[in-house]
């Protein structure tokens, strides 16, 4: 079976269905925007129960908010790193600090409003990831989960043998965050994030799929790492 990468776009986020011998979902949408997921599945002749794993790249509200609803819809297991597990299981609204002027300003202006608007139900983690990551072979996907901290201390990425890399918020590529592929404007530790980028690149990443914006070649990010 040929590899399919199916984006599931909400207002600000893009989650991805990866379909090969099996199917997994990378990231959940904000809670109130999950309803369109079934339409995406129908358009690609997929049944909800074909999704066997929901991989949460990190524990921010806009990535884990729809996890409970998506799990109920698909029956899939939820995987998240131990460092971000509490956010998911307690419904904690987490948003990393701004690391650019616009990041700091936008977070200060919007956090109180979004915290109320985008509250979400807690969900139980089925697979708690550690720093060693996880092979996706048993889910029918030729790839692995790689520990890539920096945006949050529990951030992970999905790296396929094809070089396709689903990196959550290791980068942004969408307004109003940024106008071109760049490092994120929010991060718990931006220097640690750069080290994670080097890890992803060293392991063969070539096409980058961010959670905010369109895919881009890895070369577009190299200038920010020197």
Model confidence at 12, pLDDT cuts 50, 70, 90, reads confident
Rounded CA gap, 83 and 149, in Å? 10
Per-residue model confidence as pLDDT tens digits over 148-170: 999 999 999 999 999 999 999 99
- 3-class SS letters over 148-178: CCCCCCCCEEEEECCCEEEEECCCEECCCCC
| Average pLDDT of span 125-152 | 98
pTM (2 d.p.): 0.96
The number of beta carbons lying within 10 Å of the beta carbon of residue 100 is 17
Cα(157)–Cα(56) distance, integer angstroms: 9
- What does the pLDDT read at residue 175? 93
Task: Please identify which residue in the block is written with the tokens 């524990």.
Answer: 59
Residue 143 is part of a domain; what is its CATH number? 3.60.15.10
Average pLDDT value for residue range 11-33: 90
| Number of domains present in the structure of the chain | 1
pLDDT digits (tens, 9 = 90+) for 193-215: 999 999 999 999 999 999 999 99
Provide the residue range defining the domain that includes 204.
4-224
Residue 158 to residue 24: CA distance in whole angstroms: 11
């Amino acid at each position: 079976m040929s590899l399919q990468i199916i984006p599931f776009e909400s207002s600000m986020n893009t989650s991805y269905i990866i379909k090969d011998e099996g199917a997994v979902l990378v990231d959940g949408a904000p809670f109130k925007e999950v309803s369109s997921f079934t339409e995406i599945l129908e358009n690609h002749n997929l049944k909800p129960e074909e999704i066997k794993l929901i991989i949460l790249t990190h524990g921010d509200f806009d990535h884990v908010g729809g996890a409970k609803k998506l799990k109920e819809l698909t029956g899939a297991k939820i995987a998240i790193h131990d460092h971000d597990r509490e956010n998911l299981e307690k419904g904690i609204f987490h948003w990393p600090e701004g690391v650019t002027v616009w990041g700091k300003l936008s977070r200060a202006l919007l956090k109180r409003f979004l915290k109320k608007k985008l509250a979400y139900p807690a969900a139980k983690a089925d697979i708690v990831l550690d720093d060693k990551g996880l092979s996706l072979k048993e889910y029918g996907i030729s790839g692995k989960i790689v520990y890539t901290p920096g945006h949050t201390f529990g951030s992970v990425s999905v790296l396929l043998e094809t070089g396709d890399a689903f990196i959550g918020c290791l980068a942004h590529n969408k307004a109003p965050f940024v106008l071109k592929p760049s490092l994120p404007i929010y991060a718990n530790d931006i220097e640690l994030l750069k080290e994670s980028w080097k890890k992803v690149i060293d392991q063969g990443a070539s096409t980058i799929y961010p959670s905010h914006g369109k895919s881009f070649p890895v070369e577009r990010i190299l200038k920010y790492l020197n």
